[in-house]
Amino acid sequence: MKPSLCFMVLPLAVASRTGVAFQFTNIRPHHVRRTRCQFHQHQIPLSSSGRAINNIPQHLYSTLLTDIESQATLAIDTWSIEATPFLEPNDANQVQELFQHRGDVAFHRVVGGRRTPSQILTDDTTSLSNGEGRRSRLILFHPDLGLDSASAERDYCSVLRIQNVNLASSNTFPNALASIGIPLELVGDIIVTASDNDAYMVVDPTISKRIQRLLSKELVGVGISLEVCDDNEFMPSGIVQEMKLSKVLERRVERKKYEQGYVAFSG
């Protein structure tokens, strides 16, 4: 079952959900894979203690947190699995606060590449140690489904290895991804290794084939290759690319949001 995607670029906004059908048995629905990605306006969300969450941008009050709360409700009611967008550490911490003391919904916070969220957990982190990740997403599910963290990471994070890229001459990876219509909220960490010719990126599995097919056209290098890493491979340490678009791309993205979940650029 393939979820649809919609595009809202970070840091302007973070997307949250698209509808996906689920299949019933005579007992309960099968849990299904969902990646949600659609904006709705709601009231200001509350933390697990019932208080409004502080120190969070106003635009996130009516979008990110309330929509993720709606995802959790859907996961509970339909016995489904819901995946949030990939979030920067500060935002992920706020989202985690919503669910960490609740008994009606379970979650795993995953970063991909067999890593755990960095203990530094700041949006300014530019380098990562072995086994640590910065951008993460929460996988929400009914507690009785018993989803383990390894399965959550495998099903909702793919790691792409990109080799033989001339990084000095190429566009940045976020700009290149946006140019082929990839929503940045479906992309986790992008790591450049010490060789400066190879990179790794965590992505939602639903977009990995599109990236493999199109990304090399936006990069400079001889013999550029892209492949999905094995689930047993560890993502290496390295320098984290900042997930920001150029001003030109930001303006073009705002003008060209397509309902099918990607943005097409001309010229």
Walking along the chain (267 residues) 10 residues at a time, the average pLDDT comes out as 38 35 32 44 35 43 80 95 94 90 95 84 67 94 94 97 93 94 95 88 98 96 96 89 76 54 38
**Structural domain that includes position 173:** 157-255
In a domain, 191, yes or no: yes
pLDDT at 123: 59
Element (H, E) at 149: helix 149-156
Instruction: Give dist(CA 183, CA 187) in Å, integer.
Output: 7
Question: What is the structure's pLDDT at 266?
Answer: 31
Amino acid identity at 210: R
Do 119 and 185 reside in the same domain of the chain?
no
What does the pLDDT read at residue 94?
A: 87
Residues 144 and 53 in one domain: yes
**Whether residue 178 sits in one domain with residue 148:** no
Q: Are residues 207 and 124 in the same domain?
A: no
Could you tell me which residues come within 8 angstroms of residue 241 by beta carbon, excluding any fewer than 6 positions away?
A: 172, 173, 174, 190, 191, 192, 199
Cα-Cα end-to-end distance for the chain: 33
